[in-house]
Chains A and B, each alone.
Chain A
Amino acid sequence: MRGGLRAAAPLAPAVFLVGVSFGIAALPVMGAVAPVVMSAIVHAGSAQFAALAVLADGGGAGAAIVAGILLNLRFLPMAVAYAPWIPGGALRRAAEGQATTDASWAIASRGGGRFDRDTLLGATLAQYPAWLLGTLAGVLIGEGLGDPRDVGLDAIFPAFFLALLVEEARGRRGAAVAVAGAVVALALSPLVPPGIPVLAASVIALVGLRGERP
């Protein structure tokens, strides 16, 4: 698990600060307790921000739930890919599947469809407390912490994913799939609800059905 903890360590401060910004944004809409509970049991940043945005705009509970679910649907193909590497019975596999996050999944990927279970669990272990404590700090200290965007926070996650992508997109086929995935996501982004573009990009991987393994 150490490998995962170490690999995700550069992200922990960023996760904490995004948690802070979620806490600050959620406080006037949800009160002080609900955002912390949400971070503890939903633990999915983008889905939480999406649901919060709907509630803050006066949208209904149904719309907030749908927005959050759409953003989390990408975990469906991610967890399917990781599934063969989880041992044990159905209940244990279901429980371990909960550790799937964007960053952990990407860190644990070893290429060729292989995943390292220990690394994935360790990487999630590094992020979970940071997200929870960040949210707590956000609702407690509020605006006093300033705007996380000032420190370039929103560039950290795409840069992190880019670094992992460089490893994954080796070879002509991987590179072509990466370009196609980005194009599909960007083309759909203005047309469909948030979350769908990234989910739709996973369809590109179906070219793997044709011919030899990459």
Chain B
Amino acid sequence: MTQTWGVIAALALATIAIKAAGPVMVGGRPLPERALAVIALLAPALLAALVAVESLTGKDGALMIDARTAGVVAAGAALALRASLMVAVVVAAAVTALLRALG
């Protein structure tokens, strides 16, 4: 139990430090044009990585295609048909749940 509390305290402090580092060092002044160009591309790079890892890999990190993958693909199709974000999310959950229910 002591071990658990140690992990929680250390992880809380580390997370606070990680999230504070950038704002303390960078904040308050305008960034150079080149830095802004890099930051502008962080969103597509990180979001695409999150989507890929969360929809295409399993627990061990290996490629895994399952009901969840199908749900995300269905959401992508809905978005291509100009569905709203809310509709896309509901489509993803519904398709995934349906496929799992069908086994």
Contacts and interface: CB of A to CB of B under 8 A. Distances in A.
B15 A165 contact: no
B7 A51 contact: yes
A153 interface: yes
Contact of A41 (B12, B75, B101): B12
Given A152-B93, A190-B60, A178 B44 contact: yes
* B: interface residue count bin: 35 or more
Interface centre among B4, B42, B101 (most CB of A within 10 A): B42
Nearest to A163: B85
Interface in B8-63: 8, 10-12, 14-16, 18-31, 33-34, 36-57, 60-63
B84 to A, nearest CB: 8
Contact of A168 (B14, B43, B63, B97): B43
Contacts of A64: 7, 11
A61 B93 contact: no
Interface of B: 1, 3-8, 10-12, 14-16, 18-31, 33-34, 36-57, 60-63, 67-68, 71-72, 75-76, 79, 85-86, 88-89, 91-98, 100-101
